[in-house]
Amino acid sequence: MATDPHALFEEWFAEARLAEPELTEAVALATADPSGMPSVRMVLMKGHDRRGFVFYTNSRSRKGGELAANPQATMLFYWKALGRQVRIEGKVETVTDAEADAYFATRARESQLGAWASDQSQPMANREDFEERYQALAAEHEAREVPRPQHWWGYRLAPDRIEFWIDRAHRLHERRLFTRSGSGWSESLLYP
């Protein structure tokens, strides 16, 4: 048994990049509102290290509001080609402004403008208004750098539990659970 789930994740992620190179970083993110109503959607992991797993979004979106009210979440990576999944549970915190600014600067200009134009998760009367707003912002920022909107944040899921699942014949799957224990990790096996 290994004792470092981050090293194991890095190994699995590298293998997944080879087996499923398109959107290897796609991950289901589950949040819950204050009443406990769950919500899940796909996001893209934009970084990971020993501190956690990072994604970016509009803080005014449904997931942003849910994380503000209940800063706990679960991520689920699934790589069909490998017959593997990784489930990560823990607390969510915002990344620093410097981290968010640095990542925002790497995004395509069109995506930067889209972050300004979209009132993510809010009702939209019609598509044309949104497209007009986008075009107006493009004209306003022509030949200028697009700054990061103050409502566009990075979030880091700091794991308390990481489960590695491997598909096996006859549903005799392999499940390895790492649980945070002080400054380290303990490992156990789970029945499939």
Which of 171, 175, 176, 180 is the catalytic position? 171
Catalytic annotation present for 171: yes
Contact between residue 28 and residue 21 where contact means Cβ atoms under 8 Å apart: no
Secondary structure (DSSP) of 54-93: EEEEETTSHHHHHHHHS-EEEEEEEEGGGTEEEEEEEEEE
Which residues belong to the active site? Answer: 171
